[in-house]
Amino acid sequence: MKVKKSKSMNILIIGGTKFIGYFVTRQLVERGHSVFLFNRGNNHTDFPENIIHIKGDRKDLLSFKRKFDSIQADVIVDMIPIGDEDSNNLMKTASGIVGRVVAISSCDVYRAYGRLTGLEPGPPDVTPLTELSPLRDKLFPFRYHAKSNGMKRYEKILVERNVLNHDSIKGTILRLPMVYGPKDYQFRFHQYLQRMDDNRKFIIIDGRTAGWKTTRIYVEDAAHAIVLAIENKNAEGEIFNVAETSIFTEKEFIQRIAHIVGWTGEVIIYPAKSDDEFPQQDLVIDSTKIRNLLKYESLTTEEEAYNRTINWERANRVKEMKLNYNFDDDLFKEYIHSHRN
């Protein structure tokens, strides 16, 4: 799909070189915008030479205010706001030098995520989730098992509050689901793709996981949604869910990958434990709003997205990612034994 160019803007991006930010940066340049990147400069990328790089750490963001002012940016885009401190410094830095801020959030702000993880016990919330669905009451979803101080402070709800409630800056929030694609170093296809590539005859998962539904989005499509929010004044003061329209179970997700790679093994479902403490909470979000207001639509087909993801994951695996199949084999033996009795 050919991307239509829009009126040129000066855009300052905090981050912009890793996963989603890499594709946001590329798409903005392709659409004729002037892009300035602020980050630590640790990621070497194949960006065009006309991109301006400003090297620094976001914990020192306020000290770069004069430098940022000289850019005369139309919009500041924060790809990596973690929590209250990050977003407060962002808005203090932006105040007086820019009229708009776009910040990336997550669908983990919803109460449904708390239901899913057990952080907020209760009956499952109705899905799909819209931008008006209830948010979590309990903050800091990763505090109790986070390994880094950053993740202990992680809270996108606080990011959203700070960005949207500034007196003189118009904020925009994009809530992303699970994002997959090239440069995703979480390798979201890995646990299934590796088994298929290793010619395993089966993939075994529990019944709760097999029937679970979540929303995903391919990285270049997520980037396209962010670009539209940057360019469009209709996005000012708004929150947008960004998601694919396809809704399917985890078992169906496995089958989609299998179809692409030609794997003919069996997906085996074993019974979930009856005493599982968490409810069967799906995490499906609705993206009608951004499709209607910003005219967002996917740039890629599902087959294209899966193929690009699979090719990248295969090319970037490391030895440490090799799976141990002893657990799978033990589960399979239990499954066979239970079905014989």
pLDDT (tens digit, 9 = 90+) per residue, 155-207?
999 999 999 999 999 999 999 999 999 999 999 999 999 999 999 999 999 99
Determine the average pLDDT of the residues in 60-70: 96
Cα diameter, the chain? 75
Helical H segments across 140-287, by residue range: 149-152, 156-164, 190-197, 207-211, 219-231, 250-261
Q: Which of 49, 7, 15 is nearest to 32 (CA)?
A: 7
Q: Are residues 261 and 203 in contact, defined by beta-carbon separation less than 8 angstroms?
A: no
Q: What pLDDT does 322 receive?
A: 87
- Least confident among 42-46, 73-77, 313-317, 321-325: 42-46
Mean pLDDT of the region 225-240 = 98
> Quick one: tokens of 30?
């392709």
What integer pLDDT is reported at residue 319 of this predicted model?
80
**36 has pLDDT over 70:** yes
Q: What is the pLDDT of residue 150?
A: 82
Which of 307, 283, 315, 310 has its CA nearest to residue 126?
283
Cα(61)–Cα(90) distance, integer angstroms: 7
| Mean pLDDT (whole number) for 114-140 | 96
pTM given for the model: 0.94
How many Cα neighbours within 13 Å face the side chain of 42? Answer: 5
Instruction: Determine the pLDDT at residue 198.
Output: 97
Lowest mean pLDDT among 6-10, 33-37, 92-96, 226-230: 6-10
Q: What rounded mean pLDDT belongs to the chain?
A: 94
- Domains of the chain and CATH, by start: 10-340 (3.40.50.720)
Under 8 Å between Cβ of 43 and 17: yes
Going by pLDDT thresholds of 50, 70 and 90, the confidence category of residue 148 is confident
pLDDT of residue 274: 60
* pLDDT band, residue 9 (cuts 50/70/90): very high
pLDDT of residue 277: 55
Question: Could you read off the pLDDT of 254-297 as tens digits, one per residue?
Answer: 999 999 999 999 999 998 776 565 668 999 999 999 999 999 99
How far apart are alpha carbons 316 and 190 in whole angstroms? Answer: 11
CB 274 within 8 Å of CB 211: no
What is the per-residue pLDDT for 1?
44
Phi-psi region of 203 (alpha: psi -120 to 50; beta: other; left: phi over 0): beta
